[in-house]
């Protein structure tokens, strides 16, 4: 395996977490642009720490929001690298589980010439699956209670639903969050390869898979999804239509690559053009956006358009570097970027 790139940052002590990010921490094995990471020679591979919840936790910590990562890693080199990274970023790991039998997951990521990526399988499985699939509900129940006492958001995705043990732990966390009055933020993050390694990475969810997602969809106070995800799940990419289709009428944010961002939040519609930036790698850009959004929502109330510009800038800055975590900006860097990009 190529040497992992662990971002070097300054350690800081974190107060009680305001956001809990639950789910997978893994390695994105980036192939050469236009090449296949499964067959490319080692010198052309770039292993980067990733996984949407881990990306989100690191991005929130970088922005200055106290955050916890809730997940399960193998006792291996990848797990050690994440342990170091979380400690340096000041991410709370009291609910991080360690697995002595299963390895941390490696995801094979194809990149095209424009930096857009596609997930196409895994590496490292020794026959018992990966550590993130075995997130233990009993162990989680004991650790989560104290964290929820101070939390303002629980951020989750749909990937844990693809594995029975992780799905059970996710369901328990959602129930505990609801009982504690902590709102759920759901980043759909649809990745068919996690449900079926042989699936077409461009395919949408089946009716059975959508049914498994429904409890999350019906609990979420905030849903972030890509345009195609909204169309697959709700038959529309209009955020107001998506919100109206769910009984709790959540806030909805729909991203669409270089097309305008659209939202329906606090009963208000909105739209924002994408920032035009040179793209190196889009991996983790959506996670950085979600982190920027929750960073704002966890703080004092503010107008929606500046909030969305800040979140979009977080994603745009991540697109300009390799990997999901290394290019994540701090709040001062986001403000500097926005100052150089005045509103039209």
Rounded average pLDDT over 219-246: 98
Q: Judge whether residue 89 has pLDDT over 70.
A: yes
Tell me whether residue 98 is in a domain: yes
Contacts 24+ apart (CB under 8 A), 123-131: 123/29, 123/38, 126/102, 128/101, 128/102, 129/102, 129/163, 130/26, 130/74, 130/102, 130/103, 130/104, 130/105, 131/72, 131/73, 131/74, 131/79, 131/97, 131/98, 131/99, 131/102, 131/103, 131/104, 131/105
Tell me whether residue 313 is in a domain: no
Q: What is the pLDDT of residues 286-311, one digit of tens each?
A: 999 999 999 999 999 999 999 999 99
Q: At what angle do helices 52-63 and 77-89 cross, to 10 degrees?
A: 20
pLDDT at site 99: 98
Tell me the residue range of the domain where 159 lies: 19-255
Query: Model-level pTM?
Result: 0.92
Tell me whether residue 10 is in a domain: no
CATH (domain of 122): 3.40.1190.20
In angstroms, the Cα distances linking 301 to 51, 131, 274, 295 are 29, 38, 23, 11
Tell me whether residue 77 is in a domain: yes
Give the DSSP letter string of 2-53: PPPB----------S-SEEEES--EEEEEPPTTS-TTTS-GGG-EEEEE-HH
Tell me whether residue 137 is in a domain: yes
Tell me whether residue 302 is in a domain: no
Tell me whether residue 337 is in a domain: no
Q: Judge whether residue 14 has pLDDT over 70.
A: no
Rounded average pLDDT over 34-56: 87
Tell me whether residue 225 is in a domain: yes
The domain tally of the chain equals 1
Rounded average pLDDT over 207-231: 98
- Could you tell me the pLDDT band of residue 213, with boundaries at 50, 70 and 90? very high
Q: Judge whether residue 149 has pLDDT over 50.
A: yes
Q: What is the pLDDT of residues 112-145, one digit of tens each?
A: 766 566 677 899 899 999 999 999 999 999 999 9
């Amino acid at each position: 395996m190529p040497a992992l790139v662990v971002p070097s940052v300054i350690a800081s002590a974190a107060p009680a977490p305001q956001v809990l990010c639950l789910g997978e921490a893994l390695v994105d094995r980036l192939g050469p642009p236009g090449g296949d990471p499964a067959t490319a020679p080692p010198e052309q591979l770039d292993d980067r720490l990733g996984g949407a919840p881990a990306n989100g936790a690191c991005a929130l910590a970088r922005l200055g929001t106290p955050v916890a990562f809730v997940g399960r890693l193998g006792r291996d080199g990848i797990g050690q690298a994440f342990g170091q990274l979380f400690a340096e970023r000041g991410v709370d790991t009291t609910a991080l589980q360690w697995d002595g039998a299963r390895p941390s997951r490696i995801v094979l990521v194809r990149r095209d010439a424009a930096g857009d990526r596609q997930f196409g399988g895994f590496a490292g499985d020794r026959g018992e699956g990966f550590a993130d699939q075995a997130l233990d509900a009993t162990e989680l129940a004991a650790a989560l209670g104290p964290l929820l006492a101070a939390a303002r958001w629980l951020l989750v995705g749909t990937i844990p639903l693809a594995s029975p043990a992780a799905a059970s732990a996710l369901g328990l966390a959602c129930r505990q969050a609801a009982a504690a009055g902590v709102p759920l933020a759901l980043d759909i993050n649809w990745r068919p390869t996690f449900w079926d390694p042989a699936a077409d990475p461009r395919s949408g969810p089946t009716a059975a898979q959508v049914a498994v997602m429904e409890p999350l969809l019906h609990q979420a106070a905030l849903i972030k999804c890509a345009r195609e995800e909204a169309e697959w799940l709700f038959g529309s990419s209009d955020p107001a239509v998506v919100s109206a289709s769910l009984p709790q009428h959540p806030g909805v944010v729909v991203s669409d690559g270089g097309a305008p961002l659209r939202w329906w939040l606090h009963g208000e519609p909105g739209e924002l053009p994408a920032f035009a930036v040179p793209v190196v790698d889009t991996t983790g850009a959506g996670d950085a956006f979600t982190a920027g959004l929750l960073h704002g929502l966890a703080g004092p109330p503010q107008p929606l358009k500046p909030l969305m510009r800040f979140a979009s800038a977080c994603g745009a800055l991540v697109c300009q570097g390799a990997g999901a975590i290394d290019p994540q900006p701090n709040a001062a860097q986001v403000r500097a970027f926005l100052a150089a990009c005045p509103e039209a």
